[in-house]
Amino acid sequence: MAMILKINDIECSYGTVKVLNGLTFSVGSGSFTGIIGPNGSGKSTLLKSLSRVLKPVKGTVLLDGRALYRMDPQEVAQKMAVVPQETAVNFSFTVKDIVIMGRSPHLGRFQSEGEKDFATARQAMALTDTLHLADRLITAVSGGERQRVIIAKALTQEPEIILLDEPTSHLDINHQIEILSLLQRLNRENNLTIISVFHDLNLAAQYCDSLILMNKGTVFTVGEPAEVLTAGNIKEVYGAVVLVRKHPVTGRPSIILMARDSQIGSKIGRVHVVCGGGAGASLLGLLAGQGYAVSAGVLNAGDVDWETAGFLDISMVDEIPFLPVSEQSHQKNIKLLADADVCILANIPFGWGNLKNLEAVSFALEQTKPVLIIEEQDIKERDFTDGRAGLLYNGLKKKGAVVLHNEAAVLKKLQDLLASKPPAGQ
C-alpha cells in the first residue's frame, strides 16, 4: 500500500506546554485509520497538526512525499478535507450553500462556481443521502443530517484524504452507525483515505483497518485492531480492566468494560475460583472488575473460562483439552488454593476427568479456608460419574461449604468474609 501521509518525529506544543512528543508513523493510501487514546493523550492535537492548524515545532509531515507545511494551502485543500468535531452552523445557509462551499479550493480568487462545481456538489449530496435536504436551512436539520451535510461539503473538495475529529460525538447509536457506514462505503468504493479520531473503542474496532493508540503525547502502538486492542494495552494506557472478545459477526475485537468498585478494592483479598467450560467466565470478570486478586484452575486450554482468565491476566492452571486433570496440575491447583483467602466452586458439571477439582476444594476446607459453592443446578443433573462426584460434592457441604445460588450472593458473602479477615499468609 502506497504511503500518502508520513509523520516523522513530530513535536507539537501550546506555548511552553509540549503536547506531542516524537510521533512517527505512516498512513497508507486507501486506508481507514483510527486515532484512539485516553483524554489528554493528544488525539485532537495530532489531527490539528495533520490539517495544518498547528505546525510542529520539530519533525515533518509529508503528504505524497512533500513537506505539508511548505505546500500551498489551496493545493493542500484540494487533496485533504477536514470534518471538525463541532459541526454546528449558526448562519441560515441552505444545505446546498454549505456543500458548494467545498469547491472553494478549486476556484480562483474571484471565480464563481460553474456547472462542474454544482454537479460535483450534487454528486456528494447523493453519496451522503442529503440531496433531498438541498433547499432546507442547515439550522433546521437534525444532528445526523447536519453531520452528513458537512461530510458532503468535504467530499465536494474531491480530496484524497478526509480527516475527522470524533465524527459520531453527540449522535445517538443509530446515527453513529449511519455516519460510519457511509465513511466505510466511501473508503471501499471510492478509495478515499480516512483518518478519524475515535472516543469509542468498539466503533473504532469495527470500522477501521488500522489503529494508532496514543498515550501521553506519544504513539503507544500502531497496527490492526486485533493487534492494538488487547486487554493488556488497554489496561496500560487507559488504566481500565476489560474483557476483549471476538465480535460474533465481524470477528473483530469487542471490548467489555469490567466495573470496578473502589470501596471494595481497598479492603479485599485473594479469591481462587474452581470453574471450567464457561461456568466461571462471568464470575471471573466480575471479581477482577471489583478489584479482587483472582486465580483459577484447572482449566482446559481453549475453553471460555481459560480465555477469560487469559484476557484478565488471572493466574491459572491450564490443562490439555480432553485429558483428565494430571497430578501435576492438581498440585498447582492446591498451591493456588493455599495462597487464597476464599475458594469458590462454580456451577460446573463433573466427569471422571475433573474429579480432582472436587478433591482440591476439599483440601481448602481441611485448611479451614472458607469455601463458597454456586449451586444453580442440583448436583444430580451435573454428575456424570455414576454418583462419585455427588458424594464428594455433598461431602463439601457437610464439611462447612456455604451454598449460594447466584453471583450477587457470592459478592455479598465475600464482603462479609473478608471485611475483617487478614489476607492469606499474614
User: Is residue 191 domain-shared with residue 293, that is, in the same domain?
Assistant: no
CATH, residue 300: 3.40.50.720
Alpha-carbon span 261 to 292, nearest angstrom: 10
Q: Which amino acid is at 86?
A: E
pLDDT in tens, 207-259: 999 999 999 999 999 999 999 999 889 989 998 878 788 887 888 998 887 65
CATH, residue 202: 3.40.50.300
Tell me the CA distances in angstroms from 52 to 42, 102, 295, one per residue in order.
15, 17, 51
Whether pTM > 0.75 for this model: the answer is: no
pLDDT in tens, 149-184: 999 999 999 999 999 998 887 777 888 888 899 899
Structural domain that includes position 294: 262-418
79 inside domain: yes
Termini Cα distance of the chain: 59
Place of cell 454528486: 123
Query: pLDDT exceeding 90 applies to what percent of the chain?
Result: 57
| Secondary structure of residue 19 in the 3-state scheme | strand
Alpha-carbon span 111 to 289, nearest angstrom: 61
Indicate the length of the chain as a whole number: 426
User: Is residue 207 domain-shared with residue 320, that is, in the same domain?
Assistant: no
Q: Which of 236, 289, 295 is nearest to 261 (CA)?
A: 289
Alpha-carbon span 232 to 311, nearest angstrom: 8
User: Is residue 20 domain-shared with residue 144, that is, in the same domain?
Assistant: yes
User: Is residue 179 domain-shared with residue 298, that is, in the same domain?
Assistant: no
Give Cβ neighbours of residue 294 (< 8 Å, ≥ 6 apart): 270, 271, 272, 273, 284, 287, 288, 312, 314, 315
* DSSP structural state of residue 182: H
pLDDT in tens, 361-419: 998 898 889 999 999 889 998 899 999 999 999 999 999 999 998 888 898 898 888 87
User: Is residue 230 domain-shared with residue 271, that is, in the same domain?
Assistant: no
User: Is residue 346 domain-shared with residue 212, that is, in the same domain?
Assistant: no
